[in-house]
Every structure is written in C-alpha cells, then in structure tokens.
Structure 1
Amino acid sequence: MTEDPFVAHRRLLFTVAYEMLGSAADAEDVLQESWLRWAGTDHARVRDPRSYLVRTVTRQALNRLRTLSRSREEYVGEWLPEPLLTTPDVAEDVELAESVSLAMLTVLETLAPLERAVFVLREVFDVPYAEIAEAVAKSPAAVRQLAHRARAHVAARQPRVRVSRSEQQAVLERFLAALHTGRVQDLLEVMAPDVVFVADGGGLAAAARAPVHGAERVATLLAGVDRSASRTTTVWLNGAPAARIDTDGRLAALSLVVADGRVTRVYAVANPHKLTRLDEPVALAR
C-alpha cells in the first residue's frame, strides 16, 4: 500500500510551519488544519503532492502568523522561539541547522509575515518563485522583491560567523563551567565584550525583560543567580549543542552564538509553555 503523501512529507511540512512560526505548538495546529484540507481534496487531481502540501501549509501558517502578531506584541518581556530537542544528525545539514537555530528564528521574527514566508520557502527549501507566488497569492515579480528585501534584512542581522560543532561544543562547555562557578571573572573570559543576553520568561518565570548588553553586565547578572540546586545537561537544541538547566522543578534552555572562541549572544528560554519539547527529539527535514 502506497504511503499517504501527507505522512511521507510530514517532517518537511512541520519544519516549514515551525520556521514560519517559531512555535512547535502552532506548527502542529497548522499541520492539523492542513491535513483536514488535504483529506477533503481529490488526490487524483494533484500532480505534485509535495508542492501542493507545502503551499497548503504555507497558507495556513501565514494565516496563523497574522493572528499571532498582536499577542506577540503584548507578550511580557522578550519573545524567543520555542526550542526543540533535535538529534545530532540535524547539524550535518548545515543549512537546515542554521535555518532552525534560535538565532536565525529570532531574526525571522523581525520580518513581516509575507517576507518571512518567502524567505523560508526560497532560501531554506529552494521553492521556485512561481510556486511561492501561488502559495502567497502574489505575482512572481512581487515575490522576487519580497525575497530581495528579506535577504537584505536577514543578512544585516544574522550572526556572520559559522563555527564547527566541535568549537560550539567546546565554548559551550567552557561557558557552563564558568556559569557553575558563579564568578564574574570566569564568565568574562568566555564572553565577547559586546555579548548580548536575551531571556524569555513570558511573565511566568524570572527573566530579564529586555536584552542585557555588554560582558560586564551579563557576567554580573549571571553570577548573581544561585545555581547550587541546578542540574545542567548538554543537549542538542535546534541543530546545535546547547544546555538544559533543571532547578527544583523549573526548567530553562540555553542556546549560544559563538564567534572567535567566545560567546557573542546568549538565548535563555524559561517560559514553561515553550519547554515541552525537550524530552523527545523532534524530526526535522528539508
């Protein structure tokens, strides 16, 4: 019996929706809505099920993104994407790993919904302009303009330095060791002078309400947190080595951006609603 195309392409469809929304919960809702539409379609009339399903998911994700924009504007403190536990093999696809990193997803949050959809489909999944135009109900010329604008926007904001997994892992371990000592000097030695710390507590967990800039300020903030009852585990989050911190039933996820052997950015997610995907790896695909 032939596998249903929706089932066959589910990992891809989830990845498209997640990259557009930054939320696994919302991505799952989009997949459910898309499945209902697929179930009501005459499959015999669909020449290319993969393309058809990507278009369907894109439309549903765009609808969801537009409805979410207001709630994210009213969000308490900084809004960060929902981290996902992934398997190490995701990192082997460098472009996929970069596209689902918390750093990139945070940059994508600054795009308008249409720009984000076009960027994700074109730059990550290499969808032809004509198919993107059909998915977003725009002309191919308009889609090319959106893609150009989105690329420039992302290029100006994304981390410019790629590091190997081994370097990322080594710097992460040094950072966690410094974090464990709670000494400002130890933290300063592993962070770049212009490091930025971004935390997301959503009003439900203790977290800085705005980004903290500069090594001195970040080190002082982190050194002041009592982690004597914490257990830190190195995990793979969004295709890169990261950390899970358990403290008396509370959970946090830490993801780092590394350049020249030092931490340039720290993303800390403590909102419990965003930490439900840290026990079972999520399958992602391009």
Structure 2
Amino acid sequence: MDFSSSHLPWRLDVGRHEALRHKTRTLGEFWAVGCTLGGISGRRGATELRRTEGEYLGVLLVRKGSEIFTQNDKTALVGEGCAVIWDGVKSAECHSAGSLEKFTFFLPRELAREALPGFESLIGRPLESSPSLRLLFSWMETSMGAADMDDTAASTAGRVAVDLLTSAIGSSSNMVLDARSIRLMEVRDFIDAHLRDAALGVVEIAQANAVSVRYLHLLFKESGETCGQYLLRRRLEVAQRLLTVQPGLSVTEIGLRCGFSNPSSFSRAYRVSFGISPRAARRS
C-alpha cells in the first residue's frame, strides 16, 4: 500500500483505515512523512528488507499518542514529543494501540554517517524531549505545511532538519557520547541481546564484557539504576510487548523467552513492576 511504501516497505495491520491520513514531502536528499492513524502494528522483516531500494535511517517523531518501536532487541516506548532513530537495513517492529500522529524523517545512511558519527549506538534509543527536539518538531510541521516550497528551499529544509536532529541528540541526557557512555551502551547492547539467558547476571555480564564487577557498577551509577535493575527492567519491557503483540505465545513461554527461570518468578517480578499479573495484563 502507498502508506507502507512511503515509509520504506512494511507489512502493516492498520487498526482503523478510515482514520488513516498521510502526506509525503521531499526535502532535497531527504524526505519526511506526516501521518495520522487509528492504531497500527507493523514489521520489517527479510521480505520487506529485500524490497527496499537504498539504505536509510528513519527518525520517528511522535506528535500525539505513543508508539512501541523495537529494533536491535531494544524496545522504546516513544511518547508525545519524543523520538527514536531506526535503521532501514535491519528488521524492526512497531505497535500503537490507539490514535497516533507522527512524523518520520528519512535520511540516507551515508549522509547520516557524516552528520551522526557512530549512529549505530543510537539505534532504538529514545530521544527525550528537549528544546532542540521541539524545534525539530516545529520545523517538520513548517516543512510539511509549506505549499509553495521550491527545490532549493526543500533542500535547505532537509539540511536544517538534520542540524536540529544532531543538536537534539547532543542535548538529550541519555545521548552524551563520552567514552564511558559509549562503553555503557555497548554493555546494554550485550544485555539486550542475551535477555533470554536465565543464567545471565551481573557477574556474567562483567566477564563477557571484560570488565570488573566494580567497574560495571560505576558504568551504571550515573544512569540512575544498577546493572541488575537494568537487566530486570529490560526483561519486563520485552515481556510486556510480547504480551501485547504475540497472543499466540503462552504467558509461561513469554517468561522463559525473557530470561525468567520459572512462571512464578516472572509473575512476581511483573506484578511488582506493573501492579498486575502478566495474565491480567494480557486480558486487559
């Protein structure tokens, strides 16, 4: 469908087709899509990747509502006024249960590499609201709404959007790319890739990443949570997503996939974190 191809090829299940509206605007070497939906679930798998011409990054900017976006085993809940960067050469999933308004800004990977060195470490990590990100939202609205933009103006608009994105990344509190922050991202990536390993703990994480347990604690100290807390939170976030988008999986199987050794430990941790049991969450 046109909506799918405007965002690169996706396999989509649109909740309410009558609520679907979208508009595409070319911005020089870049392009942007603004859309309104009444709920959606989507996936970019091997088939969609083969159908994609060129290599691009996408920047999802949520105006109203929220969207769950998963890539690289990272699941980001992107709320109103926030954003997430995703990679067009890798599989991805998205889900929104309710009404959603968003922009998606696309830029070629080779240009992204020049503007955002080391962008691979940013994939799947939410960008928090900031003055620069709010300016990017406003700039997207202006660029999408301009009726008489010629090619030169459109190209300028695209370059300004990239500059605002770069600024938003630099001002986001979880995107400070000093050496320790980059090391922390690498450790988090390792954890996200091994969540289903029930034997994974702080000691195993430290050993696999060739650091001491003490240094691992230092890496996580400024993030506001311990390594163990991050591991548990990510397991529960993935479990919460699977309960929503994988009705064919039993609650027990979801717990095992997320690294919980038995159903009771999964249910107990889920209830402590979310206030209800996994079975009740699925029913609701």
Bin of the TM-score, shorter chain as denominator length: 0.3 to 0.5
Q: Normalising by structure 2, what TM-score?
A: 0.33
Q: Going by fraction, where is strand more abundant, 1 or 2? A: 2
The higher-RCO structure (CA 8 Å, 6+ apart) is 1
Q: How high is the TM-score relative to the length of structure 1?
A: 0.33
